[in-house]
Structure 1
Amino acid sequence: MKVKLLTSLCIGTLITGSALACTTILVGNNATTDGSIIVARNDDTSNALKTFAIMNHPQTINSSGKLYRSNANNFTYPLPAISLAYTALPRSFSKSKPNFSMEEVGINESGVAISATETIFNSANALKIDPYLEESGINEDSIPSIILQSAHSAREGIMLLGSIIEKQGAAEGFGVAISDKTDGTWYLETASGHRWVAWRLPNDSFFVSANQGRTQKVNLRDANNFMGSGDLIKFAVDNDLYSPKSRGFWGWLTGSSEVNPEESFNFFKVYVENGEHDKTYNYPRIESLEQLYTGASYTVGDGLFPVWETPTKKLSVADVAAGLRLHYQGTEYDPYTTQNPKAPYRPASVMRAIFSHITQIRPNLPDDIGYVEYVAVGMPDLSIYIPFYRGLPEIPPSYQTAVDGAPDNTSEYWKYRKLQALVMQNYPKYAPMVHEQFNQFESEMFVKQAAVEETYLKLYEMDPKQADKLLQQFTEILISQADVLVSNLTKKIANDLKMNNLSNADYAKLIDKTEKEYHYGGA
């Protein structure tokens, strides 16, 4: 993939904090090659020594008044009488903590999928009036767990999250995607501590986000496509965050200060932080991803990129993976090929990504294979997207055993992390070989998937449980084959680097050192 990055972008000052950060891609069902609904995100964390797991949670009957308690702050929320069964990817988990933390992405038994969160920041002026509730509001730690246990539809999930924001507050700024096979994908963004907006992705469009709010036009009277705080615009007018050109007919009719949809309210201009650092940290990812899928070049200097666009060709899982692997290949701004960690533009694919996911909903297939999570461990540019079907009876243990900061020889997380750290020692030399073999693996995998799914559908009509066993066998074989490939590449590169005798403790130091060199801190 070669992406032309416009040189007209201003080079601002990168922020250097350790805030979490991500890159999100959403695709409507009429914009995909197979009619599927796609929600994808790189889940970036503070360093490359954090781990994750894939977990199945059974349906649970809760006692009256039982509360969900966040591990990150003092947020609590009443659990439903019956918590829905769901699969999720927690960043950390421990028997000493009350709940799983940072579950990030998952699918529940009602077919509701969530990806949360895209770290964003709201405008300083809005937050002066309605600040985040850092100690007690809802945040990334809790959002997926609450929604997956409770929501029976994407719309219900958005309404629940919006209600929590209004009543208990948001602890931080975030964007959240919630989808189902009936209503497609909804995307919610915070406006301030107690205010929010959400919209439904047009079926023929894609959307990309990179650590900055992206919403512009808002029409809360179009309930089919928009939701949000009832006073979203009135709050802005009353607090001098926004001055409408006129109250218009709607204001005259209702006596309110809310303007009609044709007037000038723009959510981005009113509620989104937009500073110099965005021009290097966020704009380049948006510009390059939109160009990748449309071929169009942008000279946007104010952050007002098109929110939704129709791709020039329908997008596949592989096309979305290519976007998540973006690091400005073929340009002088590629920090890896040029071996320049000081390159000014923050890539989509960074070493501190804990994992990358592509959630695919295929409405015309049985739910057990219609819902798929493709998961790539660590830095997606140097990883393989392995499919995990909703009908998978058991999650393979190698995706559940990694421990923060403690490399081992058995978990998938540390196998990929070791390879990634080695490749980054001489990216121009080793990455082409890894890319070639990983691309071949994925191409062959997609062919095998199609054959397995065809067999599955025939078997499913006679014996659904036996069909799910077929998924288990396929997944385990796929992981085993990927293990062999990763192991062979690791050995070959380690030998070439004369690093073949590294201990796990040595690898921990190498991974940490390499990530810090290419950290791209901030959100």
Structure 2
Amino acid sequence: MGCTTLLVGRRASADGSPLVARTEDSSNGSFDPKHVVVVRPEDQPRVYTSVLSRLRIELPENPLRYTSVPNALPDEGIWGGAGINAANIAMSATETLTSNPRVLGADPLVDLVPESGAPGTPDHRPERPGGIGEEDMLTLVLPYIRSAREGVERLGALLAEHGTYEMNGIAFSDVEDIWWLETVGGHHWIAKRVPEDHYVTMPNQLGIDSFDLEDAEGKGHDHLASRDLRSFLETHHLDLTLRDASLDPSAGSSAGAPAGAPSPHVLNPREAFGSHTDADHVYNTPRAWSMQRTLNPTSEDWDGPGPGNRPESDDLPWSRRPERRLTIEDVKDVLSSHYQGTPYDPYSAHGTEAQRRAFRPIGINRHNALAILQIRPDRPESSRALQWIAYASNPFTTLIPMFTNVDEAPEYLATTTAQVSTDSFYWTSRLLATLADAHFADAIPLIERYQLTTLALGRAAVHATDGTVCRPPHSAADGSSGGDGSSERSVPSVLAEANTTVAEQIRAETDQVLGAVLHTTSNLMTNRFSRSDG
């Protein structure tokens, strides 16, 4: 499953919020309808069973309420995608990653092994469950954590105990930090704290490009990992970093080592655990190039002949400092990119047909959902968290903001069934994108006006709600009135009403633009004929 992740540290964002954003994309030829739900503590299972791997896990007591963007059709499990819990901790799960044979041979993935042979016969082998995967991770972790670091530690413990059947990247955020975890083989993992003034681009490849083992084994200030990661690296000769012999700890003192030489404790996980295949160069690395080209337009010669900053480059940095502070709108634009301004844009008249189809765009037809998770440091805890939601192909869709300290998602975001219906934001977004794509040049002005109008509506709704929410001096932990009569309604009820109001406003705009695009594209059908029937 292809996805694209963008992480923005709090000192790189416009309002000081850490931003965690990811498009969840279905596999080629399939589409997974999504909806937004709020999972209350009483609805969280106490024993969880994975649909795909059939793994059964007992869960802790006292889960927190949390939001989720699961599959609307649960035939393959939950696939919660992204959410924020009642402690204002955000989680995005997952970004599918690449690996290499050395890693998968050293620590094989934990696949489901079906039952074989007839029971009671010598050749009978009972079913062996697989590990955990994208289907499971949000449900197993988000309700039980109170910091981003706790998220890394809980998921790391689950991976060590149960393993996984796929390589994944997972983001956790609290009001200060974003941590990014990457699975390494079946049971191992590494995690790194995103620099506060940087953003991170993740396009389906194992991405961390520098990792300090000494920090991970010690204070864990910026790095965490499986406890046996160093021995795992050494036993299977996975660390490919070329170091000066004087830096080898077994050779004694490293005095006299050349300036800038690699530390014996720092490795490049991309080289150790990742991949640099021809498939990466058409499917993965061009997306990192596009994101960094957009957010650092003058920092590099992005279109020059040099090998370091091309769409096929293997050494684009995992994180970098943007040229200016980034906004929610920047994140949406970057995750809607189809290589505008380059010969690789499939909608452009420039470039050759081969160039226009050379690389996988970020804004692709098979987006299921986009979630941007925002924890705002300048707001009370009762209204601090926002989850911005878009469905379907991002170049043609818009975001709806949702305050997460609520017990129920607005109907327009939550109502998705197998039947196509304009009562659903998911299905309306899918219809809109499909109609507009077929006649891009004629429809895109309508789409751009729609996006400007609806994003402004979302911003205005958030500002108005922030002005309405006044936390009483003696308020309860959940934001409800403390009984001093200073608030007639609880904060969650105010937020729920605001969520519904803005969703309905954007619903009206979405219905209107759908009609306009339908009219425009109907007049451009292949079987049109201009002579009137007299």
Structure 2-normalised TM-score?
0.82
1:314-349 Cα deviation digits (max 9, x unpaired): 111111111111111122211134596961111111
* Residues 1:379 and 2:356 are matched in the alignment: no
* Residues 1:45 and 2:26 are matched in the alignment: yes
User: Structure 1 residue 48: deviation in Å?
Assistant: 5.9
**What is the match of residue 451 of structure 1?**
464
**What is the match of residue 397 of structure 1?**
411
Contact kept? 1:105, 1:116, Cα under 8 Å: yes
User: Structure 1 residue 393: deviation in Å?
Assistant: 4.3
3-state DSSP class of the match of 2:320? Answer: coil
1:225-268 Cα deviation digits (max 9, x unpaired): 100123323323322333564584655789xxxx9845662111
Instruction: Name the aligned partner's letter for residue 5 of structure 2.
Output: T
Work out the CA distance in 2 between the residues paired with 1:58 and 1:382.
Answer: 33
Instruction: Name the aligned partner's letter for residue 504 of structure 2.
Output: S
**What is the match of residue 127 of structure 1?**
104
* Residues 1:368 and 2:382 are matched in the alignment: yes
- Aligned residue runs from structure 1 range 282-301, under 5 A: 282-295=284-297, 296-297=299-300, 298=302, 299-300=307-308
1:335-376 Cα deviation digits (max 9, x unpaired): 134596961111111111011111000123123321000001
* Residues 1:237 and 2:246 are matched in the alignment: no
**What is the match of residue 126 of structure 2?**
none
Contact kept? 2:383, 2:491, Cα under 8 Å: no
User: Structure 1 residue 409: deviation in Å?
Assistant: 3.0
Contact kept? 1:327, 1:334, Cα under 8 Å: yes
**What is the match of residue 512 of structure 1?**
none
**What is the match of residue 324 of structure 1?**
335
Choose 328-337 or 259-268, whichever is displaced more. 259-268
**What is the match of residue 200 of structure 2?**
207
**What is the match of residue 196 of structure 1?**
189
Contact kept? 2:399, 2:454, Cα under 8 Å: no
* Residues 1:280 and 2:272 are matched in the alignment: no
**Structure 1 residues 70 and 465 mapped into 2: Cα distance closer, same or farther (>3 Å)?**
farther
Work out the CA distance in 1 between the residues paired with 2:510 and 2:524.
Answer: 14
Identical counterparts, % of pairs: 25
User: Structure 1 residue 168: deviation in Å?
Assistant: 1.6
Work out the CA distance in 1 between the residues paired with 2:100 and 2:204.
Answer: 13
**What is the match of residue 455 of structure 2?**
442
- Unmatched runs of 5 consecutive residues or more in structure 2: 113-129, 254-260, 473-478, 526-534
Contact kept? 1:62, 1:79, Cα under 8 Å: no
Match among 65, 73, 79 for residue 85 of structure 1: 65
**What is the match of residue 14 of structure 2?**
33
Match among 133, 138, 145 for residue 139 of structure 1: 133
**Structure 1 residues 55 and 274 mapped into 2: Cα distance closer, same or farther (>3 Å)?**
same
3-state DSSP class of the match of 2:319? Answer: coil
Instruction: Name the aligned partner's letter for residue 40 of structure 1.
Output: A
Instruction: Name the aligned partner's letter for residue 387 of structure 1.
Output: P
Contact kept? 2:38, 2:67, Cα under 8 Å: yes
Work out the CA distance in 1 between the residues paired with 2:143 and 2:494.
Answer: 28
Contact kept? 2:211, 2:266, Cα under 8 Å: no
- Aligned residue runs from structure 1 range 52-201, under 5 A: 52-60=34-42, 66-92=46-72, 94=74, 101-135=78-112, 136-182=130-176, 184-201=177-194
Work out the CA distance in 1 between the residues paired with 2:63 and 2:337.
Answer: 38
Work out the CA distance in 2 between the residues paired with 1:439 and 1:391.
Answer: 27
Structure 1-normalised TM-score?
0.83
Choose 32-41 or 126-135, whichever is displaced more. 126-135
Work out the CA distance in 2 between the residues paired with 1:62 and 1:474.
Answer: 26
3-state DSSP class of the match of 2:507? Answer: helix
User: Structure 1 residue 172: deviation in Å?
Assistant: 0.1
Work out the CA distance in 2 between the residues paired with 1:167 and 1:247.
Answer: 38
**Structure 1 residues 108 and 468 mapped into 2: Cα distance closer, same or farther (>3 Å)?**
closer
User: Structure 1 residue 312: deviation in Å?
Assistant: 0.8
Contact kept? 2:9, 2:197, Cα under 8 Å: yes
3-state DSSP class of the match of 1:83? Answer: coil
3-state DSSP class of the match of 1:325? Answer: coil
**Structure 1 residues 371 and 264 mapped into 2: Cα distance closer, same or farther (>3 Å)?**
closer
User: Structure 1 residue 61: deviation in Å?
Assistant: 9.2
Instruction: Name the aligned partner's letter for residue 277 of structure 1.
Output: A
When Rg is computed on C-alpha atoms for both structures, the one with the higher figure is: 2
3-state DSSP class of the match of 2:21? Answer: strand
Instruction: Name the aligned partner's letter for residue 422 of structure 1.
Output: L
Work out the CA distance in 2 between the residues paired with 1:109 and 1:126.
Answer: 37
Work out the CA distance in 2 between the residues paired with 1:134 and 1:482.
Answer: 43
Instruction: Name the aligned partner's letter for residue 415 of structure 1.
Output: T
Choose 191-200 or 338-347, whichever is displaced more. 338-347
Contact kept? 1:113, 1:154, Cα under 8 Å: yes
Q: How many residue pairs end up in the alignment?
A: 471
User: Structure 1 residue 108: deviation in Å?
Assistant: 1.4
Contact kept? 1:62, 1:81, Cα under 8 Å: no
User: Structure 1 residue 142: deviation in Å?
Assistant: 0.5
Work out the CA distance in 2 between the residues paired with 1:149 and 1:109.
Answer: 8
Instruction: Name the aligned partner's letter for residue 57 of structure 2.
Output: Y
Choose 333-342 or 46-55, whichever is displaced more. 333-342
Choose 410-419 or 457-466, whichever is displaced more. 457-466
Work out the CA distance in 1 between the residues paired with 2:524 and 2:361.
Answer: 30
* Residues 1:475 and 2:499 are matched in the alignment: yes
**Structure 1 residues 473 and 152 mapped into 2: Cα distance closer, same or farther (>3 Å)?**
closer
